[in-house]
Structure 1
Amino acid sequence: MVLLEPYTITPRLQKGDDVLSVSISSVINNDTSLLEGLQVFKEWGLICKNQVVKGRHWGYFSGEDTVRLKELHPEETPNLIAFARGGWGAARLLEHNQPWQKGWLLGFSDLSSILLARLSAGFDGSIHGPLVTSIAKEPEWSKERLKSILFNKSAPDLYGEPWVGGIAKGPIVATNLTVASHLLGSRHIPDLRGVILVLEDIGEAPYRIDRMLTQWRLNGILQNLAGLAFGSFIDCVDQDTDNASQAFTLNEILKERSIDLNIPVIANLPIGHCCGNAALPLGWEATLDGYSGRLSLHPC
């Protein structure tokens, strides 16, 4: 198994550290949820710096690529960069040079491309978790989990539905299936051999989920994992009602594409486009128990 060696281990946050909110995907037209999210960080004792410009857009993006790239890599590196919202646009920035810096990075969905690319470059500190515009609506346990990861580098176990038994140990990588699938073959996908992979998605028909998982299998990626877990798959239903009797359900697809891998598999973890969206730090060592459905983190 090939493991990434982070250039530096990200230190715990402390009260008085700064958090920078940026928007590098889709446009933000309503800043109410943004301000509510920043208030959560303020209550944790962090100093909030907001770089989001309400209504700024270049087409359906929150600004031109060069503008968003500059905001992703500020001159003064904050302790935490928290992405404001997802949508689409982050992966376009990966066409450019990435002067990654140490520190924490928080987001998910479209921002999965940035988290994966940064991990692939060897940097610790990327967290798959709530966006600034969604964190205020997260249940208390989810907010406390994220806070504990940032300030204490610890988190309670998560539980899902056991599908295939066994015990897997390895670094954890959580990502959006669609976003990650469009990075396959690029240098922005980390080496996933021996990894515990967690996948989630939203709004994709089961046949598209089937197509993407098949692509991962054809690339030999799923066959070389230590363990596999599925988070939430919201609104992933077949809209073709005429052929509903012949269609596979989402769970049928997920099971058929995973249960023959000879690795532990669990499903229905509270991760992804659900509320709550449990934070997972990429690259941390973890244990996946396919008998009980438990996912445990072992902080570095």
Structure 2
Amino acid sequence: MSTTILPPPLKPGDLLRVIAPSGALREFAAFEQSLEIWKAHGYNVQVSDRIESRHGYLAGADDHRRQQLATAWHDPECRGIICARGGFGSTRILEDWNWQQNTADPKWLIGFSDITALLWSLYNAGISGVHGPVLTTLIDEPEWSIKRLFDILEGRAIAPLKGKGWGGGTVTGVLLPGNLTVATHLLGTPLLPNLDGVILAWEDVTEPPYRIDRMLTQWRLSGVLSKVRGIALGGFTKCEAPPNIPSLSIEEVLRERLGDLSIPIVSDLPFGHDSPNAALTVGVKARLDADQGILEIMV
């Protein structure tokens, strides 16, 4: 994707809609507390009807969750869509979905984890979103991370993120952040974006090292990593091996499966399932400095 549209900056008073496109809502206290953060910043936040619906592990049947997205996306007064939580389910509602029906009126989509599928699908349609805290996790973020989210959405500059550089110089490319597991399950589907010139930014949670190894091996065998300019690695939270089972560490797996790609890589960046989860803009130009360990968004 050569050009990605940034939705207009948000401003206090704007209407934002909360949807649950993935897993069933469980963290009710955190949900309400995070909602108050948005309201304290002056936004008119409306929660979708029947957001507490359940269909097994899903936040309601596919049609119900798809309708939440459609109502928010096609509402001319709505300027942003906040996802309630991740889990699983967003790919199911993308089986019968087309962003192109309303790309003339882009609005911000905010979320991470399972929301990766929605963000990458929206990127395919040429529109940027924000890989950042969902409504059940925002309350756990440090003040600087909350400020960073609102700075992105309201059009202000943000600071670079600092991690651990693996060496290999500096590259610029299109930033494509997401959850490794969700992204892996987009391989071989129409939802996988064109990765030419992309800087992938991956994070994950509760995946033991052998499963991270399996996913990265699938990426290697698919051949698509040959198109990627760099990789930024965030948190891999609770990805330790079970006790008393022989295993490589998650750090060893990442080094073995990515370290020979001859592209700049930075790890230990502060984004992912464990706080802090620094917001990242999808589909914008970024600079990855693998000598200094810096990821910088260039907007």
TM-score of the pair, normalised by structure 2: 0.94
SS state at 2:154 partner: helix
1:5 corresponds to which of 3, 28, 32: 3
Alignment of 1:16-55 (within 5 A): 16-51=13-48, 53=50, 55=52
Change in CA separation of 1:29 and 1:208 when aligned onto 2, cut-off 3 Å: closer
Change in CA separation of 1:153 and 1:237 when aligned onto 2, cut-off 3 Å: same
Unpaired runs of 5+ in structure 2?
none
Distance 1:68 1:53 in 2: 10
SS state at 2:177 partner: strand
Residue in 2 that maps onto 1:287: 287
* Contact 2:168–2:262 (CA under 8 A) maintained in structure 1: no
Residue in 1 that maps onto 2:213: 210
| 1:23-65 deviations in Å (ceiling 9; x for gaps) | 1111114522112111111121111111163542112211110
Change in CA separation of 1:63 and 1:55 when aligned onto 2, cut-off 3 Å: same
Distance 1:60 1:20 in 2: 22
2:110 corresponds to which of 106, 120, 123: 106
Distance 1:193 1:55 in 2: 40
1:165 corresponds to which of 163, 168, 173: 168
Number of residue equivalences? 292
Is 1:57 aligned to 2:54, yes or no?
yes
Distance 2:242 2:123 in 1: 36
Distance 1:232 1:175 in 2: 11
Is 1:73 aligned to 2:70, yes or no?
yes
SS state at 1:60 partner: coil
| 1:180-215 deviations in Å (ceiling 9; x for gaps) | 101111111111111111110001111111111111
Alignment of 1:240-255 (within 5 A): 241-242=244-245, 244=246, 247-255=247-255
* Contact 1:30–1:54 (CA under 8 A) maintained in structure 2: no
* Contact 1:164–1:259 (CA under 8 A) maintained in structure 2: no
Calculate percent identity across the aligned residue pairs: 38
Unpaired runs of 5+ in structure 1?
none
Amino acid at match of 1:166: G
SS state at 1:286 partner: strand
* Contact 2:170–2:289 (CA under 8 A) maintained in structure 1: yes
Structural RMSD (CA) = 1.5
Amino acid at match of 1:161: K
